[in-house]
Structure 1
Amino acid sequence: MSEIVISGYYGFGNAGDEAMLAAMIEVLTELASDIKITVISGNPEDTCRRHGVAAVYRLNFPEIIKVLSRSQLLISGGGSLLQDVTSERSLYYYLSIMILAKKLGTPVMLYAQGIGPVRGTLARSAMRYIGNMVDLITVRDEGSLAELKRLNVVKPPIHVTADPVLAMHQVDKQIGRRILRNAGVEGNVPLIGISVREWKDWKHYKDVLVEAANQLAEEFGARIVFLPMQWPEDCAVSKRMAIRTKSKAIVLTEEYTTSELLSLVGNFDMLIGIRLHALIFAAVMHVPMVGISYDPKIDRFLESLGECLAGDLQNLDAQSLVEKVRQLWPTSKAAKQSKVEQSTYLRDKAFQNAELALELISQRKWGKANHEKNNMA
């Protein structure tokens, strides 16, 4: 039996990060059923309950040392852990876990990371130094590969794969239908999901989304449903926007599991998303999507699907957003098939992350066994 430690932004109520963890666990255990996984978490009790794995608190370094010292691999990922735009401290925290593992002789893999932007001089030096110490890197897009090259991280093997969540299986839509019914969504009407987040107290993009939601509700006879991905933070901004819509928009205010969120998205006829993993859920469930960028990771993901942005938070306008929705609704059968094929391709790439992780463990075990055999000889 192999033991793996996973480090990331887990236990903080972010649906995207929890989905990445669920996807990693799902694929790793599918490939190696006897594997033991321990997660470094901000809320170990919640992580154990939600994912059915062992967990240790992210600042309990004696316990982290204990689990790392007996493990065959540290996985750092996925998501945008290695950047200094939203927080400088978090970058150094994740790098410190990596260097701790290396000091203990535990191999380190960056797993489907979205790298950068890394702007600070000290941060770039730390990334270059520690990045070149790790054993294997997979990144979720070409932009992340380019960022590694700019940082001069060149020593480990590097593979461009895809976000871990894209490896997840589709789920039954009935779960989402039940949640929607309980929230007051009745009848056979088109549903447009909107995933919004607060950003720097900016107002313009919220005004645009409300204006577009009103127009789309009238033009398509659609019901607007706000879907929070960061709970409870996204609920507040969603509620403030929903009360400004002319139609009776619904805000889903509960904290949902990854399976429930996937099922909810599967019931939408269209998803308009600022949150990356709302868009990824749409890709998994083959739902047409329109992305709005606040970070390069949104642009990179949509580019991997052959999709275009409706705009970014600063230059978004209602008519361009509505026109983008019109172009995708209804989608022709040929276009739908093309998107399904692209999603399937990315699913295979996402699956490769776990295959490479387990291959790294096997190589290390084989190398260690050979070394011990030669010493005995």
Structure 2
Amino acid sequence: MMIIKDESMKKVLLVGYIGGLNVGDEAIGAAVAQQIQSDSTEIYIATGQPDVSEQYLGKSYHYLKCTYPGRPITTKDFFILVATIRKMDRIIFVGGGILQDVHSAKLMEHCTLIAAIAKYYKIPSLATGIGFGPIRSDYGHTLGHRFLDSVQRINYRDIESLNASNNAYGEYSYKCDLGSDSIYLINSQLTKHEAKKTGRVGLAFRQWKGLHIDFLAEMIEKLLNDGVTPVFFAYESDDLILYRQLLELFPDKIELSDERCFSKTLESIKGLEGLISMRLHANLFAIMSNIPFVALSYDPKINNVIGRLGYQDAILTLDNSAEDVLVKLKGFSPSTIASDKLNNAFKLNELNISEFMSADHSQFEFKRRGKTLGHCINLFYDAFIIVRLQKFALFIGRYTSKLFPSKFKEYIRSKLKFNW
């Protein structure tokens, strides 16, 4: 891919958990892309699976193969990635739970690598709508330090994330501010509905410890007995496993929402009389559409983000019964402060991004670039070299594992961050 820089165009690279078949993360990428799209802006999107992201986000943007999520990047694609970052005018990390290692450190590796390369080439970068924590490992803490050192500005989506970041990385508090979730940038695109009976209730669930199929089955049975059609929202591919299990129990009784592209995601919330969801962004779509909902909290982000909008009373836990959830949904009360808070959140996001895009960053001092180059090399090893060593270890381990003493194998596993 040959990149010719048009000086009349401002080139912007958007980075996040994009290409991982997660509707919420793809949607915040779309929200930021739509916000900055103009005749003078050329948008590139870093994605682990360019074909998947192009289908969901559309053909208006350039798609750049990156290190995560998806298959390991090739040597050619890695050099294209570096060359493209070097040509950018701005980098925006679009939001989501970037700074955490509770699921995996891979997303932190991916974002920190791009942030470090951008810093080395003196390209301004903004992280907006970011969720922080938990970060449990020493390696994760190191990645967080490198990421915060590399970006110019970071706006957290909730006060808890901001406080946790300042407690863990106090030396960077001067560049950290309270923002809001990037998805609020689409607030004006969603039709506000009056509460009405449509005979359809959305269910957005993910596989999670503490979620039992019996709980879902009881809920669906009660909905069906009330003459309501359950509509299952699959926001990740693994969610379809739950959907198929439920279909076996209730053949032809459950609809599946259409999430093939961003416009379909916005449309899929329409026509519901209510939503029961573990998914943060499904709940936020319901809030922005004035649709009654119950949020089932499995992660502090649910309480932090949704509670901030005045909907703490709409949050239950997975310990509640199906009856508790349905009673809560029927008794749903709209928040009297949500509308103002949504408008304020939209304006705050709009202002933060607008200021970053229009500011003159030529005087910004990019310190410790020599150290940043070392970080880039280390991250290149983690994101590029180590996955190939893991593949090789897996191959030879099938034939030679019994030849090695256990201490040697433990040493290899620790070095490769990999279990044979």
| Residues 38 and 55 in structure 1, CA contact (< 8 A), matched pair in contact too | yes
When residues 337 and 151 of structure 1 are mapped into structure 2, their CA distance, relative to the original with a 3 A threshold, is: closer
| Residues 107 and 135 in structure 1, CA contact (< 8 A), matched pair in contact too | yes
- 1:76-225 matches, within 5 Å, as 76-155=93-172, 156-168=174-186, 169-171=188-190, 189-200=198-209, 202-204=210-212, 206-219=213-226, 221-225=227-231
SS of the counterpart of 2:354? helix
In structure 1, the residue matched to 2:361 is 364
How much is the aligned-residue C-alpha RMSD, in angstroms?
2.6
**Which residue, 322, 325, 330 being the options, matches 2:329?**
325
In structure 1, the residue matched to 2:349 is 350
1:24 aligns with 2:32: yes
In structure 1, the residue matched to 2:268 is 264
Q: CA deviation at 1:325?
A: 0.9
In structure 2, the residue matched to 1:371 is none
When residues 66 and 129 of structure 1 are mapped into structure 2, their CA distance, relative to the original with a 3 A threshold, is: closer
Residue range with higher mean Cα deviation, 85-94 or 242-251: 242-251
- Aligned counterparts of 2:238 and 2:266: Cα–Cα separation in 1: 19
Q: Which amino acid aligns with 1:213?
A: I
- Aligned counterparts of 1:325 and 1:11: Cα–Cα separation in 2: 33
- Aligned counterparts of 2:303 and 2:214: Cα–Cα separation in 1: 22
Q: Which amino acid aligns with 1:44?
A: P
CA offsets 1:22-55 (integer angstroms, 9 cap, x no match): 10011112xx541111111112234345332112
Q: Which amino acid aligns with 2:229?
A: R
- Aligned counterparts of 2:177 and 2:198: Cα–Cα separation in 1: 43
Q: Which amino acid aligns with 2:180?
A: A
Q: Which amino acid aligns with 1:34?
A: S
SS of the counterpart of 1:114? strand
Q: CA deviation at 1:283?
A: 2.1
- Aligned counterparts of 2:305 and 2:282: Cα–Cα separation in 1: 12
| Residues 94 and 128 in structure 2, CA contact (< 8 A), matched pair in contact too | yes
| Residues 4 and 72 in structure 1, CA contact (< 8 A), matched pair in contact too | yes
- Aligned counterparts of 1:249 and 1:12: Cα–Cα separation in 2: 25
TM normalised by structure 2 equals 0.74
- Aligned counterparts of 2:327 and 2:160: Cα–Cα separation in 1: 28
- Aligned counterparts of 1:283 and 1:343: Cα–Cα separation in 2: 9
SS of the counterpart of 2:145? helix
Q: Which amino acid aligns with 1:193?
A: G
Segments of structure 2 that go 5 or more residues without pairing to the other structure are 1-8, 67-72, 365-420
1:74 aligns with 2:91: yes
Residue range with higher mean Cα deviation, 13-22 or 129-138: 129-138
Give me the identity figure in percent: 23
CA offsets 1:211-263 (integer angstroms, 9 cap, x no match): 233324434x4221111111x322221231244359933233x5421221211
SS of the counterpart of 2:272? coil
SS of the counterpart of 2:310? coil
In structure 2, the residue matched to 1:14 is 22
In structure 2, the residue matched to 1:37 is 43
Residue range with higher mean Cα deviation, 343-352 or 85-94: 343-352
CA offsets 1:151-201 (integer angstroms, 9 cap, x no match): 12443422222111111133469xxxxxxxxxxxxxx7422100111124x
- Aligned counterparts of 1:88 and 1:36: Cα–Cα separation in 2: 30
1:55 aligns with 2:63: yes
- Aligned counterparts of 1:109 and 1:79: Cα–Cα separation in 2: 13
- Aligned counterparts of 1:34 and 1:25: Cα–Cα separation in 2: 13
In structure 2, the residue matched to 1:227 is 233
When residues 297 and 41 of structure 1 are mapped into structure 2, their CA distance, relative to the original with a 3 A threshold, is: same
| Residues 79 and 112 in structure 1, CA contact (< 8 A), matched pair in contact too | yes
Segments of structure 1 that go 5 or more residues without pairing to the other structure are 174-187, 369-377
In structure 2, the residue matched to 1:304 is 308
Query: How many residues are aligned here?
Result: 339
SS of the counterpart of 1:9? coil
TM normalised by structure 1 equals 0.82
- Aligned counterparts of 2:262 and 2:307: Cα–Cα separation in 1: 24
In structure 2, the residue matched to 1:181 is none
Bigger radius of gyration among the two: 2
When residues 48 and 274 of structure 1 are mapped into structure 2, their CA distance, relative to the original with a 3 A threshold, is: same
CA offsets 1:126-171 (integer angstroms, 9 cap, x no match): 3124313320111111121012112124434222221111111334
SS of the counterpart of 2:95? strand
- Aligned counterparts of 1:98 and 1:75: Cα–Cα separation in 2: 9
- Aligned counterparts of 1:281 and 1:203: Cα–Cα separation in 2: 23
1:240 aligns with 2:248: no
- Aligned counterparts of 1:336 and 1:144: Cα–Cα separation in 2: 23
SS of the counterpart of 1:266? coil
